[in-house]
Homo-oligomer: A and B are copies of this chain.
Amino acid sequence: MYTITLLPGDGIGPEVIAGAVHVLQAVQEQHTGVRFVLREAPFGGSACDQTGTPLPEETLQLCLSGDAVLLGAVGGPKWDSLPVHLRPEVGALLPLRKHLEVFANLRPSVIFPALADASTLKREVVEGLDVMVVRELTGGIYFGTKHRETLPDGGVKVVETLEYTTAEIVRVARVAFDLARQRRGKLTSVDKANVLESSRLWREVVSEMAGEYPDVELNHMLVDNCAMQLVRYPKQFDVLLTENMFGDILSDQASQLTGSIGMLPSASLGGKVGLYEPIHGSAPDIAGQDVANPIATILSVAMMLRFSFNLPEAANSVERAVSRVLEEGYRTADIMQPGMRQVGTKEMAELIGVRL
């Protein structure tokens, strides 16, 4: 029995979560002995509207007491002018990550053969792409001190800090080394060691750990060069490891290489409870219309089955079902191509469910 806390959130969040729940139920029917207990909680902008805070205490407690959290999406223009601490990002998402202690954010960028032409990059450059970004998620400048003061000239000065410790680097690097070992054995650690002191520490710590992983080929790359290499020759990468801010930028760049962001899941690991969410946003413009692509959330469920519940068979069956549906020509609007059959959020989830 696995207890999953559902945080539908804002925009298209509730719809893609409903799609994922449908698939979870199908998994339960297929796998005797596996049972999911689902409970839903308010989170993000909609929670702020309802309760006055984007991360209600009961929501946090529910998340901490379950086995895994499945998040839809948060945010939208509606909440962008609230005081910072009430906005969905700073008021809900960052503290949730911190409380769950999910320091390792895994973001696969994979090209589905059926969608290789959706990329803006030439087919030969991205065909077969399979990169895993491991992003440090609970440290760095996201969680440093922030200070604002008025200057004698009437202007403002802001000072904020970027902090990292050896221990914070070791634990996330270990996740990346372990993943590289299970994959193609290549780890690229990204930093800006020619300028940042924190990056020099990062490079020292990661280099030292390499001795424990003789089967993993480690190399270091500067972040600006990495942003270039992701355009020039993305297939050179297997696992990319990096600190929080660089990982935010590079993982979004990497996922856009696939041309189908609506397909890409993520897992945030490290604490007792894992956090799973699609990498796409809340897309308020298409919310409530049954057009959003639920596949990224459904593949986040597959990651949950694999990483939190140790059910690799069930995870594989979800991933296979997604591939089959695509091969049979079903598409949501965001990945629609001529000659394919367009379906809505709900129908896509149902098609995947019956193919498990």
Residues in chain A within 8 A of chain B (CB atoms): 75, 84, 87, 89-90, 94, 120-122, 125, 141-142, 144, 146-148, 151, 153, 155-167, 192, 194-198, 200-201, 223-225, 227-228, 230-233, 245-246, 248-253, 255-257, 261
Measured in the bound complex, the distance between the Cα atoms of B109 and A227 in whole Å is 15
Measured in the bound complex, the distance between the Cα atoms of B126 and A125 in whole Å is 15
Q: Are B89 and A194 in contact (CB under 8 A)?
A: yes
**5 A-B contacts (beta carbon < 8 Å):** A94-B195, A120-B121, A120-B231, A158-B197, A246-B249
- Cβ contact of A165, chosen from B94, B122, B151, B200, cutoff 8 A: B151
Q: Are A165 and B161 in contact (CB under 8 A)?
A: no
Q: Assembly of this chain: how many copies?
A: 2
Q: Are B161 and A160 in contact (CB under 8 A)?
A: yes
- Which residues of B sit under 8 angstroms from A158, Cβ to Cβ? 163-165, 197-198, 200-201
- Which residues of B sit under 8 angstroms from A230, Cβ to Cβ? 253
- Distance between A275 CB and nearest chain B CB, rounded to angstroms: 17
Query: Whose C-beta in chain B lies nearest to the C-beta of A89?
Result: B194
New contact pairs (9) apart from A94-B195, A160-B161, CB-CB < 8 Å: A120-B125, A120-B231, A151-B166, A158-B163, A158-B200, A160-B196, A162-B162, A227-B256, A228-B256
Query: Whose C-beta in chain B lies nearest to the C-beta of A224?
Result: B252
Interface of A is mostly: helix
Known: A156-B201, A201-B148. A194 touches B227 (CB 8 A): no
Q: Are B250 and A227 in contact (CB under 8 A)?
A: yes
Query: Whose C-beta in chain B lies nearest to the C-beta of A125?
Result: B120
- Cβ contact of A166, chosen from B155, B225, B245, B248, cutoff 8 A: B155
Q: Are B163 and A159 in contact (CB under 8 A)?
A: yes
